[in-house]
Amino acid sequence: MQFEANHKCKVGETMVRNPDETKFQLQHDRLLKAAAHCFNQKGYSGTSLKDVARQLGLTDAALYYYVRNKEELVYQCYLRAADIGRDAMDRAIKDGDSGLDQVRLYIRYHLEYMLGDRGPIAIMSEIPSLPPRHRDQVLEFSRLHSLRFEALLKTGIEDGSISPCDIRMTGNAIMGAINWIPKWFHGDQRTAARVLQEFPEILSCGLRPVA
């Protein structure tokens, strides 16, 4: 079952949250971060709900207040990963002046989320473990995200900021490099700073037209 967004109450033009809902959302987000860390390090089969509860200092009973089972937990982690990727894409499209600008900004923003306060993010490597309904939904989110990124590459080719290339292969290469970062990044801030400084250039330098 997809996690339902907290209800909001509108007063005038201001959106406010019920304090209990805010507390639930914050704890739920902590849960998904801890679960993402466990799944990334141990995989789906190697991670138990007890592992996640132990990392958060929760009892098993407290954990079941947020999720019914491990499958639902990994599913919610993947929904969160999809949301974060979509946020990075939306910002890049809004802020970038050219296709290349948007690609570089997308890489930058996604890395900021992954390595910053919104991380860790679950690697979508355990999709086959999901039941068909959830698996199909997550795969569709991933497909649409890849298509949006390919559209940025196409825009760059059309506006001259990106050299003509196979957008499917190029998109897979760049997205694959980004999505695998949570597997080897373990929270060191010096490494995070280097990744943020160097990866946007490394992953996009081959896109520029040859002078």
Q: Is residue 1 part of a domain?
A: no
pLDDT band at 126; cut points 50, 70, 90: confident
Q: In this model, does residue 2 exceed pLDDT 70?
A: no
Structure tokens at 160: 């001259």
Tell me if 3 is assigned to some domain: no
User: So what's the pLDDT on residue 13?
Assistant: 41
What pLDDT, on a 0 to 100 scale, did the predictor assign at position 51? 92
Encoded tokens for 203: 């992953």
Residue 142: name the closest of 164, 126, 158 by CA: 126
Flag whether 4 is in a domain. no
Q: Domain containing 25 — which CATH number?
A: 1.10.357.10
The domain in which residue 126 lies consists of 9-207
**Residue 136 CB neighbour total at 10 angstroms:** 12
When pLDDT is cut at 50, 70 and 90, the band that residue 43 belongs to is confident
CA distance 72 to 93: 32
